[in-house]
A and B are shown apart, each in its own frame.
Chain A
């Protein structure tokens, strides 16, 4: 087990910065998922831990020891690659044992160890096959066994499930989770799949175009997004985000003359352009007579079984609500919603950061008691 700490880590290709200074601490034994859209720099960050990419600026330390100048083999990390990167000309046995062979471990000891690891991921029957003769899930297991056999200080996963079908992905997710529980090795897992990220992570690092948007527990990131990007990226359907501004009278003005009475929020956010956000499941459907009812017109609905998604429009601003009603809701029909001020997040449009209800901007690494 080892802690990893990033301080001011930057990556520069020629003159373009692709990672703009990452400062994050990963605790020993933690399972951290780096989540972000493709091209956000998450794989680059992982490869910098591994030693496959040079660190242009700043330092990465594993177990308190700066590893910037160390070769991959000296860092004690094992990596599972996106395309598995198995050695196609070697049998499963040789694939798993290669690291030990390179390290000069005697053959008998090596064989025993390979067998033990293969057993733990149920690969025993396939030890003498070549990777080309295995299914996707089996190759994935070989890749994991190959990482495990070295008993590394850190496991690195680079989108390891992206080539698997949906069902296998769920199964492998559970396996990785169990593996981490039983070995307790610090793990860093890169993915663009938010379900994968939410279910696996002790903590999430959400990245966007080279910046760390937020670091926090999955529930924190979901319920208290630190930025507009996180609010929009995490959750399906995405958070309702409406652009507008607060007036002195306590009303939030948006769209084509839309007004929402939010007197508790208005004071802290006067005089700046903001977006307010609320999760669809927190938008309540109410009767037309409700005190602060927002009148909207239904665009369409999506039936989910237990509930349905109502896509509506209030004064030109789109709004999505999760509704458990069973009445008929057709296109063009009126519908009324109410919002609780405590469920609403306010984001500053000038920098995309969330502003708390006292008017202070929220930083990426701030933790919120969820």
Chain B
């Protein structure tokens, strides 16, 4: 039998959850409803009054070749960021898990980047990667012009990807380390007795056992790289040069607030929202069916 406490007063529980409900409604549902409204309507060129246009806004962005280029760029950005961040984090977590020298120190140090706000990191990395003065820019003194993210799109995209991956390493590291430490020590030891070297043990024993965590992080990182890149890109490249770092979330901002195409931007937001919903759905499905050992 489920035991529950009941409030005699029917008003009190609503008062108690009121503040939270208000926050959720004002900051999540109201903006979402506005985006939905704009995505299905179009304002007259001279303003004042929206007319219902059904799916016209969506058809318009789907017909736009530039939009698809942005989607492709976003996918590339997401895959690279996620891959890089997770690979580095896993590599570090494996070393910390083997409790080599300095483990205690690194355990805390690796988490710091996660505490840094994206725009702050963006500004810092702009200095680091600056072609004229930064640390990376110093290679221009040896080979002049070899590094210039302000004119070279590939350089700019690489710079933003590295910065975004760097921000996520701490978060991924914590999860990887926790997962690795959940594996009974004796399993790795049995592997060692069976003759497997550390790298082999990692691929044969540890990685399969932390698969649920890998999958969870994969989804979280993908979502983050689709939605959280705005702060970085706005401070580092503003989508440039020539749109080479313009990802979906930045295009929404740019089309909406610079191009003043509210309806097009709203439609793009809805597309992005569905993408995130789909990823979250996959995540939930997996968590439910997640492989259980023992």
Contacts and interface: CB of A to CB of B under 8 A. Distances in A.
A52 B194 contact: no
Interface string A73-84: 100011101110
Contacts of A71: 192
Nearest to A75: B193
A82 B204 CA distance: 22
Contacts of A79: 189-190, 193
B208 A132 contact: no
Interface in A32-82: 50-52, 71-73, 77-79, 81-82
A148 to B, nearest CB: 13
B195 interface: yes
Nearest to A50: B193
Contact of A77 (B186, B193, B208, B291): B193
A222 interface: no
User: Which of A50, A85, A86 gathers most chain B CB within 10 Å?
Assistant: A85
Interface in B172-222: 184, 186-187, 189-197, 200, 204-205, 208-209
A52 B189 contact: yes
B169 to A, nearest CB: 27
Given A81-B186, A83-B186, A98-B204, A88 B294 contact: yes
A103 interface: yes
Interface residues of A, number: 25
A87 interface: yes
Nearest to B209: A89
Of listed B184, B190, B195, B200, residue having the most chain A CB within 10 A: B190
Contacts of B190: 79, 81, 85-87, 146
Contacts of B186: 81-83, 85
B293 A78 contact: no
B20 to A, nearest CB: 41
A78 B294 contact: no
Contact of B200 (A52, A83, A102): A102
B294 A85 contact: no
A99 interface: yes
A192 B270 CA distance: 66
B195 A103 contact: yes
A78 B193 contact: yes
B184 A83 contact: yes
A286 B267 CA distance: 103
B199 to A, nearest CB: 12
A146 B294 CA distance: 19
A52 B291 CA distance: 30
Main secondary structure, interface of B, reads helix
A85 B187 contact: yes
Most B CB contacts (10 A, CB to CB) among A87, A146, A150 go to A87
A85 B197 CA distance: 17
Candidate in B189, B193, B292 with the most chain A CB atoms within 10 angstroms:
B193
Nearest to A143: B190
A89 B187 CA distance: 11
A52 B195 contact: no
Given A85-B186, A87-B187, A89-B209, A73 B192 contact: yes
B172 to A, nearest CB: 22
Contacts of B196: 73, 98, 102
B192 A132 contact: no
B192 A88 contact: no
Contacts of A103: 195
Contacts of B194: 73, 98-99, 102, 146, 150
A62 to B, nearest CB: 14
B293 A89 contact: yes
B293 A85 contact: no
Contacts of A85: 184, 186-187, 189-190
Interface string B208-247: 1100000000000000000000000000000000000000
A150 B194 CA distance: 8
Contacts of A102: 194-196, 200
A74 B192 CA distance: 10
Contacts of A51: 192
A88 B195 CA distance: 18
Given A72-B192, A85-B184, A132-B292, 12 more contacts: A50-B189, A71-B192, A79-B189, A81-B189, A81-B190, A85-B189, A87-B191, A98-B204, A99-B194, A102-B194, A103-B195, A132-B293
10 contacts: A72-B192, A72-B195, A73-B195, A77-B193, A81-B190, A82-B186, A86-B190, A88-B187, A102-B200, A132-B294
Interface of B: 184, 186-187, 189-197, 200, 204-205, 208-209, 291-294
Lowest 5 CB-CB distances: which A-B pairs, in order?
A: A88-B293, A85-B186, A73-B195, A99-B194, A85-B190
